[in-house]
Structure 1
Amino acid sequence: MMDDIQPPTQPTVREIAARVRAGEMTPEESVRAALDRIAATDGAVNAFAEVWADRAISDARELGKNPGLDGMGLAGVPFALKENTARDNPIVKRLEEAGAIPVGATANPQFCTWGTTDIPGRITRNPVRPGRTPGGSSGGAAAAVAAGMVPFAQGNDGMGSLRIPAAACNLSTIKATPGIVPGHVGGNDWYGMAVQGVIAQDNDDLTLLMKEITRGHVDAVDAPLPRRFGAVLDLSSPVAGFGAKPEWQEAARQAAKTLADADLPVREAKAPYPLNPLPMLARWSAGVADSLRDEGLPDHLEWRNRVHARIGRSLRWSISDRQVIRARSKMEKFLEGDNVLITPALATEPPSDGPWNSRPWSANMLTNMRYAPYVSVWNLLGFPAGVVVEPVTGVPVQVVARMTQERVLLTAMDRIAAGGVVGT
């Protein structure tokens, strides 16, 4: 039963890599420990679609013979791939080059469309909030990390698919600016909205992982905040009528207070969110329609996805870059320079972990809008956005920066996670 699961205290990415580099642990020992945790825990969580025990052990043995092991940033660290990501994807190659070892593939909903993770016969559970979904579409990735099966997991984000699960499971993640993290998600990446990424236990691990994935391009390890840094707090919802509950608003307020208490400039203002939902809906639904066209019908096409693809085919004609350029320009004027925006990560607790795959499109759509209205706009605009747990309330918040400002974003998230400004 989920109520009986107590996520173990597992070593961090940093700790595992340091021990392997120092010769205190072999890559095989690290991988076997993860496989043991998966075997003991996943029966109640359903985070994994596949476990590659034999291959992972073989890869670990080969890595142990590598003379360059002591120089690898992720030496011997086990991790999971999202089910929709191939082993030869560039993000996987980057992680493996840094010494990380994939041990299996985590579950995602069909076509990665929704913010819940289930398919017929398999419902992925939330180890942190029993009875709730771990979010989606990288729900299996978040559940695997939250349950202590692996220290981090790869995922991707086209409408909040990294940030929703991270927030649902009290983890850290970042949706980067398109092009910063290598590897396509599929097709045209939902018309430019989808990017690859990772979910980590904490912000320190996330910062290290981003450094390795980008080969040092995004290096926020022990980084100071820029001299002209500032923060903007906005509790208003991008989706009219779906605002955040008090506990999620309070977390965002506390994150802003943490920065203000450190004598950093903080103001509260309403962001100029796009009023027209059509450009985002068109890209999201047309992306699913394109997947059906390119990949063919699956053995079982969920009704909610059949409807979604039908909407996408009817709206594909309306997609235009001009829509995004205008909306992005307004947001860039609002969020100038080295400023970040702080918002609630979610609006409510995640919904129940039921068979959402068998429920109508309208029920899925309403549920997604009700609990996760803050995330998808940043996929449309291309701005980097991260999720980090605010330590005073214990509730995650979302932090957003201008395009290509991942270093500033991660550093601000680090200050929030630490409860104050350090090392500046």
Structure 2
Amino acid sequence: MAVQEMMPTWVGATAKQVARAVRRGDTSATQVVADHLEHIARADRDLSAFRVVRGGEAIVEAEKVDEQDDLANLPLAGVPVAVKENTPVAGLPTWNGSAVVRTAVAEEDHEVVRRLRGAGAVIVGVTRMPELGLWGTTDDESATTRNPWHRDRTPGGSSGGAAAAVAAGLVPIAHGNDGLGSIRIPAACCGLVGLKPGRGVVPCQLGATDWFGLAEHGILATTVADAALGFAVLAGRRPDKLVPPNRLRIAVSLRSPVRGVRLDDANRDAVATGSRLLAAAGHDAIAADPVYPTSLGLRGVATWLAAAAAEARAAGVDRATLQPRTRRHAVLGGVAERRGLVRESDRAAWRERSVAFFADNDLDLLLTPALAATPPGADGWSRRSWRANMSVNIRYAPYAAPWNVAGLPAIVVPVGRRPDGLPVGVQLVGPPGSELRLLAVAGQFELAQPWQRHAPEYPVAR
């Protein structure tokens, strides 16, 4: 029997639908969470999206939500949410992608988890990621996380478990974080909306250094409205209705930030679709390329390497116990640090140049591909060489990282399907403070060309 045929009542609902129903008394948080736990128990056997499922604990938390007197003030009342496993959840170890780098049981929630709970969300578990969050594929010695759209393909990384969970309806929305594309890459792989806020909008406090300021917490969702709701909660803001923007000037660029990386036809066509949707919404789509200096790629890779070294030191692990690819990454990161290749001045210079790209050209946003190629196969990346992992990561997902270095907000939104049946998306980037504008334009895409919210065989839109 297909997963969809056995779908419990609230599986497949959006976060907004769930919260509205719980606030009105049309259902209970306990019922919603029980439905999702049942679905997780059945569907996650084939996906391995979760590292840990908090079955009994989640039910107890849902009961506490139902007992509250102020449900009207809870924007996520009763919504089951998953948290990425590198973010502390009270009562659980912080796994960081493998047992080797797992830290002790957290005594208190990370601030973003506290905000989710404060909004009425129920944390049903923590989702899998690659070791130290370094890679755009998600597997380790215990399991391979699979893409619900095509289970022999990766859901991306490093928020791969989060994306798989949302795309299969295991939760309506999921928390993720993004150091070099780790929300947006999985969103593109799994046909989701994935928002990386700009620097400083959401408290980070992630690992040893926040990946030298590159990392941000964000949300993966099946609708723009859910992404906006989750973002508001993480940012400590009141949820606001998205207002369609007036006519915008939006740059459209196919240029790869990495020389020699070629864009495949499906992703090229996705940008053309995005351009048409912009024009249909009344915006001006203008061909304009950011100038990606060679030094950006070199310094970006150096920072990626150094982040591994810093995280391994902070975890207090013997490098010899890490996966071979991670060990090599951390060793080279130590070299990059000692040679002075990781400098805040370089990141600040690229941020200034990026902000100037919008200001000097009178641009409101930038449209780019989300990926350069189809998501790679799911299996075995944790056992493969460092060189193989570096090659596949750079070749299939080069478009996200520059905007972490610049600290600018960016969002991925689905725009169709590839010939191989997998989803395809585009990326929108904006200047500092443009998160709501990005969401509003993404909402115009959704209104003009609605997408399939969940992978085939999994829950459909209610």
Task: Specify if TM > 0.5.
Answer: yes
- Equivalent in the alignment of 2:198: 177
Map 1:55-204 onto structure 2 (within 5 A).
Answer: 55-87=57-89, 88-204=109-225
Partner Cα distance (1:114, 1:134) in 2: 12
Aligned residue among 291, 304, 318 for 1:284: 304
Match of 1:357 among 361, 366, 382: 382
1:410 to 2:446 alignment = no
User: Which of residues 198, 208, 212 in structure 1 aligns to 2:229?
Assistant: 208
**Is contact 2:242–2:436 with CA below 8 Å preserved after alignment?**
no
Cα deviation, 1:216-240, whole Å, max 9, x if unaligned, reads: 27x5523231x46221100111111
1:419 equivalent to 2:448? Answer yes
TM-score (norm 1): 0.94
Indicate conservation of the 8 Å contact 1:220/1:407, yes or no: no
Q: Paired residue for 1:49?
A: 51
Which aligned pairs between 1:327-406 and structure 2 lie closer than 5 A? 327-336=350-359, 339-391=364-416, 395-406=424-435
1:232 aligned partner, one-letter code:
A
Query: Which has the higher mean CA deviation after the structures are superposed, 313-322 or 303-312?
Result: 313-322
Deviates more, 1:297-306 or 1:170-179: 297-306
- Counterpart in 1 of 2:41? 39
Q: 273-282 or 25-34: which moved more?
A: 273-282
Give the residue type in structure 2 aligned to 1:237.
S
Q: Give 2:18's aligned residue.
A: 16
CA distance in 1: counterparts of 2:392 and 2:417, whole angstroms: 28
Indicate yes or no: 2:282 matched with 1:263: yes
Q: Which secondary structure does the structure 2 equivalent of 1:347 belong to?
A: coil
The aligned length equals 416
**8 Å CA contact retained: 2:207, 2:314:** no
* Matched ranges for 1:194-343 at <5 A: 194-216=215-237, 221-225=241-245, 227=246, 229-276=248-295, 277-297=297-317, 300-316=321-337, 317-336=340-359, 339-343=364-368
Worse-matched range after superposition: 373-382 or 271-280: 271-280
For the 8 Å contact 2:153–2:378, the answer to whether it is kept is: yes
Closer, same or farther: CA 170–357 of 1 in aligned 2, 3 Å: same
Deviation at 1:70, TM superposition (A): 2.4
Identity fraction in percent: 38
Q: Distance between the aligned counterparts of 1:109 and 1:148, measured in 2?
A: 21
Maintained 8 Å contact 1:20/1:70: no
Contact 2:350–2:405 (CA<8 Å) still a contact in 1?
Answer: no
Answer whether contact 1:89 1:183 (CA < 8 A) is retained. no
Aligned partner letter, 1:234: S
SS in 2 for 1:187: coil
Amino acid at match of 1:255: G
Residue 295 of structure 1 aligns to which amino acid in structure 2? A
The 3 A distance-change label for structure 1 pair 340 and 220 is: farther
1:269 CA drift (Å): 1.4
The secondary structure found in structure 2 opposite 1:104 is: strand
Over the aligned positions, Cα root-mean-square deviation in angstroms equals 1.9
Q: CA deviation at 1:319?
A: 1.7
Aligned 8 A contact 2:244 2:441 in 1: no
Encode CA deviations 1:289-342: one digit per residue, 9 max, x unaligned: 011111122694100011000111011122222212222222222223661111
Give distance in 1, aligned partners of 2:61 and 2:137: 32
Alpha-carbon distance, 1:278 to partner? 2.2
Contact 1:125–1:131 at 8 Å: present in 2 too? yes
Residues 189 and 424, structure 2, Cα contact 8 Å, conserved in 1: no
With 41-50 and 200-209 compared, the bigger mean Cα shift is at 200-209
Question: Is 326-335 or 291-300 further displaced after alignment?
Answer: 291-300
| 1:5-62 Cα distance to aligned partner (Å, 9 max, x none) | 6696700001000110010111110110110010110111001110111110111111
Structure 2: where are the runs of 5+ without partners? Answer: 90-108, 450-462
**How far 1:171 sits from its partner (Å)?**
0.5
Q: 2:304 is matched by which residue type in structure 1?
A: W
1-structure distance, mates of 2:140, 2:237: 38
The letter for the 1-side match of 2:201 is I
2:104 aligns with: none
Q: Distance in 1 between matches of 2:416 and 2:38?
A: 30
